[in-house]
Chains A and B, each alone.
Chain A
Amino acid sequence: MTIVATDSPAAPALRRFALRGYVPLFPPFAVLLLFFAVPIGMMIGISFQDPKTAQFSLGSYQRFLTDGLIIAGLFRTILMSGLVAICVTVMAYPVAYFLARSTSRWRAIVFALAIAPELAGVVLRTYGWLIILEDRGFVNDALIWLGLVSSPLPLAKNLFGVVVGLTHVVLPFGILALLTSIQGIDPNIEKAAQILGASRLSVIRHILLPLSIPGTVSSLLISFTMAASAYATPALLGGARFKVLATMISEQIMFYINWPMAAVMAIVLLVLMLAITFAGGRVETRLHKKLNV
């Protein structure tokens, strides 16, 4: 930069030219600033207010850390999101592998089926699951009719129901994350392992899984953050009996009209997701280096 500044008369023109390159970035930057950064700043501001007097207060933070019900909600969120992340990734893997490797005509159909759920809205799909899982739902009716159970199994309004519903919602994203990663693995590498005597299982264990770790980590991260931030599915399938941070935030606003408390919860949720994403990113980079992929 100093060289340009000292001996080149074209330097200001160059700099102006360089600036011009950033012009297309201004509108999105302005939108983000106005509708993302500013609201987050406001949220942080509100979180430090007293709910009654609007004076500066650390009360809401204090309550978050000491209220057992809220802490339980936080752990429920982590448990639910972790389970969804694992379920999605385990279920998405074989589908993604098939999509990455298959040359059959079924490939297009499977791909459409894998992505199609995204076309129906989240609320619609969640009501669908409710009809299937609730006490007088399809599954319980069938089980009772068959005489396998005498009273309905608790399939909805609990952790199980929410995890099922969210897994369905998030699955396509897991598939896409893994698909990209598996497509990057040369099929000849699997063939090479096979011809060297590796059984199908050994190929998966020694070749496929290690080489697709980046995709697996992405799938886990995406699923976790999507599950943790989901509102509609836990609200409908979890209800009042299974509260997570997202539903508790809305409860604070709608029922208790306690914006500072809602803001604190939202900040905790945000920090949780940032921490998970950051940690996952670190793990992924480390593995990337180690795997030489």
Chain B
Amino acid sequence: MSDIDIELISVRKTYGNALVVGDISLSIPKGEFVSLLGPSGCGKTTTLNMIAGFQQPTGGEIRIRGRNQAGVPPEKRNIGLVFQNYALFPHMTVAENVAFGLRMKGAPRAEIDQTVNTALKSVHLEGFEAHYPKELSGGQQQRTALARAIAPRPSVLLLDEPLSNLDLKLREAMRVELKEIQQQLAMTFVYVTHDQEEAMAMSDRVVVMSGGVIAQEDKPENIYNAPRTSFVADFIGKSNILPVSAVRATGDQREITINHSNISLAVGSDQAGPPAARFCCIRPEDVRIIGGEAFAEGANVLDGTISKIVNLGAHLDLWVTVDRDITIKALVRSSRSDQLKTGNHVSISIAPAAIRLLHE
């Protein structure tokens, strides 16, 4: 994995005084599936456009397979791009769309035909060669766009929110398929999305962006389990983020006090949280409602009142007010919905290891 396909070195992009991307450094090894994840306006699409060559960085350097791309136009970069709205050529059939990249490269007819067949097979679109984009469903258009992008065998495939126009079921199926295609081709994928589930489901590595900079960059499980900032904790999955007013260390054990409250929580010793933590993050699924569910020895126990219940089908979202201004969200199985009603007094428990300290 030492082969680096894409390297961003302090890449920045400004429009006048507006900073869109600020000093991003990132290296993407060959064959990796990397997601750029963030809310709209975080600079992820601009970063993608700069890698593709549609926008020029204001500063820094972009290297593809070791070569500086300054001044290299998009058509000379040998990368593929799947657009959010697919951008299929409406006047060409599916086969002509897929063949376009190879035609531009001047590949011989026989090779084009064969590659088009293979590409269409890999996206399960055999038999649609003669159809026009207008005659296809959204999912089929999506597959055509994917086949068109991979047919010329680019070294890197960029994907700009390619699944966001599909319905939920199809989106979930396509996630699995995209990952399979990526592994089959052993192609480097750079996937831009604001959908954290998509990023988590497919990526080898997730790059969370916020305000034009990288907030955290890690494996999906680490991003989820060990968010570095409250932004990441809040953006990835659901979480309770509570302000911390004090951290006391007593030997191995550490204890935090929640701001504007009398609540103190023991924090696991295993995590090397920052000494000057300002926030803590607790995932709702780590909050247990006492009574029925067993909880670990030594857990923090808090008393509170259920202030709101939202039924999500398999699970309930529960808001438990434990102090005047402090409400903790919990995720419980809906089989317990009979015992849990708004206004009930309940006790909740939180294992010390489930509390993560964040310094910003």
Contacts and interface: CB of A to CB of B under 8 A. Distances in A.
A195 B81 CA distance: 7
Identify whether the interface residues of A are mostly helix, strand, loop, or mixed: helix
Given A195-B52, A198-B104, A293 B90 contact: yes
Given A192-B81, A292-B132, A292-B134, A197 B87 contact: no
Given A197-B104, A198-B104, A192 B134 contact: no
Nearest to A186: B87
Contact of A193 (B54, B73, B89, B132): B89
A291 interface: yes
A189 B87 contact: yes
A177 B52 CA distance: 33
A196 interface: yes
A157 B122 CA distance: 67
Contacts of A2: none
A188 B83 contact: yes
Interface residues of B, number: 29
B107 to A, nearest CB: 10
A189 B85 CA distance: 10
A186 B132 contact: no
Contacts of B90: 189, 211, 291-293
A40 interface: no
Contacts of A198: 75, 100, 104
B84 to A, nearest CB: 8
A101 interface: no
B170 to A, nearest CB: 21
Contacts of B76: 197
Contacts of A197: 75-76, 78, 101, 104-105, 152
A272 B115 CA distance: 51
A188 B104 contact: no
Interface in B73-121: 73-81, 83, 85, 87-91, 100-101, 104-105
Nearest to B83: A188
Contact of B89 (A189, A202, A290): A189
Interface of B: 52-54, 73-81, 83, 85, 87-91, 100-101, 104-105, 132-134, 148-149, 152
A194 interface: yes
A202 B73 CA distance: 14
B211 to A, nearest CB: 24
B174 to A, nearest CB: 19
A292 B54 contact: no
Given A195-B81, A197-B101, A292-B134, A188 B91 contact: no
A186 B54 contact: no
A10 B54 CA distance: 63
A207 interface: yes
Q: Top 8 A-B pairs ranked by shortest CB distance?
A: A188-B87, A196-B101, A197-B104, A291-B91, A192-B87, A195-B81, A292-B132, A292-B90
Given A186-B87, A192-B81, A207-B89, A292 B133 contact: yes
Contacts of A293: 90-91
Contacts of A199: 75, 104
Nearest to A192: B87
A291 B93 CA distance: 10
18 contacts: A186-B85, A188-B83, A191-B54, A192-B83, A193-B89, A194-B74, A195-B74, A195-B80, A196-B148, A196-B149, A197-B75, A197-B105, A198-B75, A198-B104, A290-B91, A291-B91, A292-B91, A292-B134
